Amino acid sequence: MRISTSQIYDSGMRHMGRTQTQLARLQQQLSTGRRLLSPSDDPTAASQALVMTQTKDVGEQYMQNQGDVKDELSLIESHLTAFTDLLQSVRSRIVQAGNTTLLDSDREAIAATMDSGFDEMLSIANSRSAVGDFLFAGYQGETTPFVRGTATSPQMPVPVVYHGDDGERLVQVAASQQVASNVAGSDVFMNIREGNGSFSTTATGNGAGVLNQGSGVIDNGSVLDLQKWQTALENGFPWQGSSNRALQIQFSAPGGVKSYQLFDVSTPPPPAVALPPVAVSSVMPFSAGQSISLVTTTQPPAAAVSTDFGAQVTITGLPVAGDTFTIRPSANKSVFETVQDAISLLRTPLTTSTIRTDFTARLQDVLTNLDNALVNVERVQASVGSRLQALDSLDNSASSLDVLYQGALSDLQDLDYAQAISDFTKQQISLEAAQKSYVQISGLSLFKYI
Same domain, 255 and 178: no
Same domain, 151 and 185: yes
Of the candidates 339, 340, 342, the one whose C-alpha atom is nearest the C-alpha of residue 359 is 342
What single-letter DSSP state applies at residue 444?
Answer: -
Which of 63-72, 241-250, 416-425 is predicted least confidently?
416-425
Q: How confident is the model at residue 394 (pLDDT cuts 50, 70, 90)?
A: confident
Query: Does position 37 have pLDDT exceeding 60, yes or no?
Result: no
Q: One-letter amino acid identity for 129?
A: S
Q: Is residue 118 part of a domain?
A: yes
Better-predicted residue by pLDDT, 158 or 141: 141
Same domain, 324 and 362: no
Please give the Cα distance from 225 to 235 (Å, whole number): 16
**Burial status of residue 134 (CB atoms within 10 A of its CB: 0-12, 13-18, 19 or more):** buried
**End position of a domain, from candidates 292, 309, 331:** 331
Same domain, 120 and 46: yes
Please give the Cα distance from 130 to 149 (Å, whole number): 28
pLDDT at 291 (0 to 100): 92
The length of the chain, given as a count of residues: 450
Q: Is residue 71 part of a domain?
A: yes
Q: Is residue 224 part of a domain?
A: yes
**φ, ψ (nearest 5 deg) of residue 369:** -65, -35
| For range 205-221, the mean pLDDT | 91
Which of 73-77, 85-89, 433-437 is predicted least confidently?
433-437
Same domain, 257 and 384: no
Q: Is residue 434 part of a domain?
A: no
Same domain, 175 and 220: no
Same domain, 370 and 409: yes
**159 contacts 197 by C-beta, under 8 angstroms:** no
pLDDT, tens digit (0-9, with 9 covering 90-100), for 43-68: 766 566 566 667 777 778 888 898 99
Q: Is residue 379 part of a domain?
A: yes
Query: Does position 153 have pLDDT exceeding 80, yes or no?
Result: no
pLDDT at 264 (0 to 100): 94
Better-predicted residue by pLDDT, 275 or 24: 275
Better-predicted residue by pLDDT, 427 or 359: 359
Q: Which domain holds residue 101?
A: 34-194+332-414
Same domain, 169 and 41: yes
pLDDT at 269 (0 to 100): 83
| For range 226-233, the mean pLDDT | 93
Q: How confident is the model at residue 242 (pLDDT cuts 50, 70, 90)?
A: confident
Q: Is residue 321 part of a domain?
A: yes
**End position of a domain, from candidates 309, 331, 353:** 331
Please give the Cα distance from 108 to 93 (Å, whole number): 12
pLDDT at 298 (0 to 100): 75
**Burial status of residue 359 (CB atoms within 10 A of its CB: 0-12, 13-18, 19 or more):** buried
Same domain, 309 and 346: no
Of the candidates 292, 295, 259, the one whose C-alpha atom is nearest the C-alpha of residue 280 is 295
Query: Does position 243 have pLDDT exceeding 80, yes or no?
Result: yes
CATH number, domain of 59, equals: 1.20.1330.10
Same domain, 183 and 229: no
Query: Does position 192 have pLDDT exceeding 80, yes or no?
Result: yes
pLDDT at 34 (0 to 100): 65
Same domain, 291 and 280: yes
pLDDT at 260 (0 to 100): 95
Q: How confident is the model at residue 221 (pLDDT cuts 50, 70, 90)?
A: very high
pLDDT, tens digit (0-9, with 9 covering 90-100), for 314-363: 999 999 999 999 999 999 999 999 999 999 999 999 989 899 999 999 99
- How many CB atoms neighbour CB 114 within 10 A? 22
**End position of a domain, from candidates 279, 301, 331:** 331
pLDDT, tens digit (0-9, with 9 covering 90-100), for 360-388: 999 999 999 999 999 999 999 999 999 99
Q: How confident is the model at residue 449 (pLDDT cuts 50, 70, 90)?
A: low
Same domain, 297 and 267: yes
Which of 12-16, 88-92, 161-165, 250-254 is predicted least confidently?
12-16
Mean pLDDT of the chain: 84
pLDDT at 411 (0 to 100): 59
Query: Does position 15 have pLDDT exceeding 70, yes or no?
Result: no
Q: Is residue 10 part of a domain?
A: no
**145 contacts 136 by C-beta, under 8 angstroms:** yes
| For range 397-401, the mean pLDDT | 73
DSSP string, 141-156: TTS--EEE---SSTTS
Please give the Cα distance from 308 to 225 (Å, whole number): 9
Q: Is residue 89 part of a domain?
A: yes
| Number of domains composing the chain | 2
Helix (H) or strand (E) segment spanning residue 198: none
Please give the Cα distance from 18 to 16 (Å, whole number): 6
